[in-house]
Amino acid sequence: MKAIDVKDLQDSELLEKVKEARAELFNLRFQLATGQLDNPQRINAVKKNIARLHTELRAREIAAARSQAS
């Protein structure tokens, strides 16, 4: 998921995507531990997606706080 795609999502959708990505990361780690993981680079990609989602959520929190302060 690209940053442009993330900006188009609603807050509730962002939270849902974070939840899904964390579940996927858990499953990937489990597969890694059991030796069933086919693409280990997928773990890094999922971590980056989680970071993108959290970054957008935080940017929206900051923007909301600034608009209330003004």
Task: Give me 41's structure tokens.
Answer: 């680079």
- Output the tens digit of pLDDT for each of the chain's 70 residues: 788 889 999 999 999 999 999 999 999 999 999 999 999 999 999 999 999 999 999 999 999 999 998 7
- Displacement of CA 48 from its chain's centroid (Å): 7
**The pLDDT of residue 26:** 98
The pTM for the full model equals 0.90
Nearest alpha carbon to residue 43 among 54, 56, 53, 33: 33
- Are the C-beta atoms of residues 56 and 1 closer than 8 Å to each other? no
